[in-house]
Amino acid sequence: MYLFSVFLIFYISKVFGFNIDINFPLVYKSSGRDWQSSYFGYSVAFHQNSDGKMLLVTAPKASTTAFGPGVIEPGMLYKCLFKDVGSPTNCVEVEIDRTGNNNIVNNGSFSYEDLKNNMWLGVSMDVQRQGEKNVVVCAHLWKNQKFSDYKPNGVCYFLDKTLMLSNVKKLLPFVDSCKYLCKGKSKFFFL
C-alpha cells in the first residue's frame, strides 16, 4: 500500500524543472544560409573575453571558406555576443585554420598532409572556466592524407581567450602512425 501511495503521488504531481524564458527568448543563428543542415548548436559553451560575454556555438557540418580553398563542410566555430532582447543575434565565424587541404608539414619527428573535408569540427568543445579561459574545439574525422590508407586521426585546435587566428595551436595526437598501430600491437585512443 505504501509503495502504491508513493507511486500515485509521483504520478499525479507535476514537476517543472526548466529554466527557459519562453516569453523573451534569444534566438541565435549562424551567418550562413544552411544553419539547420549544418547542425548549428551541436556544442554550446559560455565564454567571456574583451569583446564581452558570448556563446561559443559549433556547427560540425557547416560549409565555409575560412579553412582555405577546396575544403568541403569542415565544420565551424561561431561566437555569438549576448545582446539585449530584441537586438539582432547573428553569430560570426571564428577563424581557426586557413591552410586548406594540402597543407604539408614535415618537422622530422612526424609529417602530415591535411584532409579537412567533412572533419566535423565542433563535435567536442571545452572552455576553461578558471585561469586563462582557453578554448579547445575538436574534429574527430580529420585525416592525414599523406599515406594511401589514411584513417580519421582527429585534430583539436587550442585557442586562447581572445579567439584570434594568430594565437591558435593545432593539436594532432595521432599523426605518428605508431601511436595507434605499432608492430601488430593495437593501441586505442579517443578524442
Establish if 85 belongs to a structural domain: yes
DSSP structural state of residue 67: T
| Contact by Cβ (8 Å): 45, 55 | yes
Rounded distance between C-alpha atoms, residue 59 and residue 55, angstroms: 13
* pLDDT tens digits, one per residue of 110-152: 777 888 899 999 999 999 887 788 999 999 988 888 777 777 8
Establish if 187 belongs to a structural domain: no
Establish if 111 belongs to a structural domain: yes
Number of domains in the chain: 1
Greater confidence, 47 or 178?
47
Establish if 110 belongs to a structural domain: yes
At residue 84 the predicted structure's pLDDT band, cuts being 50, 70 and 90, is low
pTM of the model: 0.76
Mean predicted lDDT score pLDDT of the chain? 78
Residue with cell 565555409: 64
Establish if 4 belongs to a structural domain: no
Establish if 70 belongs to a structural domain: yes
Average pLDDT, integer, range 34-62: 88
C-alpha cell at 136: 579547445
Q: Name the residue range of residue 157's domain.
A: 29-175
| SS3 of the chain: helix, strand, coil, percent, to 5 | 10, 30, 60
Establish if 132 belongs to a structural domain: yes
Establish if 82 belongs to a structural domain: yes
Rounded distance between C-alpha atoms, residue 191 and residue 189, angstroms: 7
* pLDDT tens digits, one per residue of 3-40: 665 555 556 555 555 556 777 777 777 666 666 688 88
